[in-house]
Amino acid sequence: MKLLMNKRIVIIGAGNVAYHLAPAILKAGFNLCQIYSRHIESAKDLGMKIGIAFTNKSDAVFPDADIYIFCISDDAILSVFKELRINKNALVIHTSGSMPMNIFEGLTKNYGVLYPLQTFSKKRALVFNEIPLCIEASNVTAKKELREIATKLSQYVEEVSSEKRKTLHIAAVFACNFVNHLYDIAFEILQKDSLDFSLLRPLISETANKVMTLLPADVQTGPAVRGDKSVLAKHKEFLKEDKKWNELYCLFSDDLLRNSEK
Amino acid sequence: MKLLMNKRIVIIGAGNVAYHLAPAILKAGFNLCQIYSRHIESAKDLGMKIGIAFTNKSDAVFPDADIYIFCISDDAILSVFKELRINKNALVIHTSGSMPMNIFEGLTKNYGVLYPLQTFSKKRALVFNEIPLCIEASNVTAKKELREIATKLSQYVEEVSSEKRKTLHIAAVFACNFVNHLYDIAFEILQKDSLDFSLLRPLISETANKVMTLLPADVQTGPAVRGDKSVLAKHKEFLKEDKKWNELYCLFSDDLLRNSEK
């Protein structure tokens, strides 16, 4: 039997996730042999960067690799899978938060999920070893192999069902994407008054640092949770010309006010 | 003339801000001589902790101190000021984000604002020196003194008008209090499915770290900004039983979707 480190891996996709996962796979000593993306520029960028073969032709994707890792948008996984000629013995993995594992059911026998719970941007370097990896597999052999791969990539590996993974993904959208959008709204509020976003950075940093050891409900601060209604009224007056900001302000502060009155 | 370091300082309030400001003032070598709070327990906790006289009797507040720093809720500043017998030469400072400096106009002549742009919880240790301090003062002498105090407390001192300070405070509410509330919602979503909040911590940390050097709009990720409508539909279905979560989800994701289509 082939040793895991000798098994040939193909990554499908060259977006943000692939951009971080591919070099981590190489660094862990695995035999990554090809990158495929429908977009030749992305495939080339990533392939050239890490010195791995790349292609944008689905019929040029190696049919005899051992492991295929799909790092593409949810909607595209099945259609791309069906375009490729993947051998029946391969381990087929997707990396999506919201897609159930069983989308591959009936199409192949060894499959699973490797969901990295992190926000990936090409502009940011990440320590892959610190990213929680949520795994799930279709059978014992697939699970054993997937766990071996995952534990070489990260110190935090958890078995998580499709159901719970979806819950995690939704929580992540609140804690990351929506949080980042609040940062952006803060940026816009400051910009309208020619204030520098860097003034807020120590606050943003401390707000996140607080919940590294404590729970969010125990460290809430600000006018709403203090029940300081005259500040809330002033802020709503200030925001009244922007419907969206005002709506968010009211939703959040009403909710925090309710919490403070519990 | 008395040297600044010999001037007697009284702190009014023993809440989250006073709890961090008082030891920072001592550490910077200033002559903090009394803590006053209407709540004897808070006054005592803070006074005993840092070894400074404390009182909950307004008529026991030293009338002859040189500097009074108000760290109490916006609504209370003026009423407490009027209760105390503060000498006319003293420098009177408040620390509020939303109160204009001129609330003291006509009541005394040397006054100003020292607004620390940070989230303060008693449970968290802070490096005060890294907190941006926004200052404003009623006259040249007051400004000079306030700037001297501020620069001994922090490396980041900015002169900020009452108008701009209010803008900063509102932006801070979005970037801190509302962000923390999103962390709390994420916590609750996970808890309903018996998932551990610690799984999200690396994501929360990286989301904040990203905007330490980059701008939020440049690092947004997730299903909405990718235009991944099938994920959005699944998430909305998942959240449909919680009106509040659903409403927030729709507001944020519609807004991010619009940005992605720009």
* pLDDT above 90 as % of chain A: 93
Query: What SS3 class is residue B25?
Result: helix
- The predicted structure's pLDDT at residue B171: 98
State the best of A170, A192, A244, A253 to mutate against chain B, taking most chain B CBs within 10 Å. A170
The answer, yes or no, to whether residue A2 has pLDDT greater than 90, is no
Alpha helices in B85-178 (DSSP H): 140-153, 162-172
Instruction: Kindly give, in sequence order, each residue whose CB lies less than 8 Å from that of residue B195, ignoring residues fewer than 6 positions away.
Output: A164, A167, A168, A171
- The predicted structure's pLDDT at residue B215: 97
Size of interface A-B (CB pairs under 8 A): 315
Query: What SS3 class is residue B207?
Result: helix
C-alpha neighbours within 13 Å on the C-beta side of residue B38: 11
Q: Do A98 and B248 touch (CB under 8 A)?
A: no
H or E element in which residue A52 lies: none
Q: Using CA atoms, how far apart are residues A29 and A5, in angstroms rounded to an integer?
A: 7
Helix H, strand E, coil C: the string for A100-131 is CHHHHCCCCCEEEEEEECCCCCCCCCCCHHHC
Please state the rounded mean pLDDT for residues B89-118: 97
Alpha helices in chain A (DSSP H): 16-27, 40-50, 74-83, 140-153, 162-172, 179-192, 201-213, 223-226, 229-238, 243-261
Query: What SS3 class is residue A13?
Result: coil
Q: Using CA atoms, how far apart are residues A61 and B8, in angstroms rounded to an integer?
A: 77
Out of A134, A210, A244, closest to residue B124 by CB: A210
> What are the tens digits of pLDDT across the range B163-189?
999 999 999 999 999 999 999 999 999
The answer, yes or no, to whether residue B262 has pLDDT greater than 70, is no
ipTM score? 0.94
CA distance B27 to chain A (A): 21
Cβ–Cβ < 8 Å for A66, A8: yes
- The predicted structure's pLDDT at residue A229: 87
Out of A215, A223, A248, closest to residue B197 by CB: A215
Out of A166, A190, A253, closest to residue B167 by CB: A190
> What are the tens digits of pLDDT across the range A57-71?
999 999 999 999 999
Q: Using CA atoms, how far apart are residues B209 and B215, in angstroms rounded to an integer?
A: 11
The answer, yes or no, to whether residue A262 has pLDDT greater than 70, is no
H or E element in which residue B113 lies: strand B110-116
| pTM of the complete model beyond 0.90 | yes
> What are the tens digits of pLDDT across the range A129-182?
999 999 999 999 999 999 999 999 999 999 999 999 999 999 999 999 999 999
Q: Do B204 and A200 touch (CB under 8 A)?
A: no
Which residue type, as a one-letter code, is found at position A7?
K
Q: Using CA atoms, how far apart are residues B179 and B173, in angstroms rounded to an integer?
A: 8
- Tell me the residue ranges of DSSP E strands in B13-60: 31-36, 54-55
- The predicted structure's pLDDT at residue B228: 86
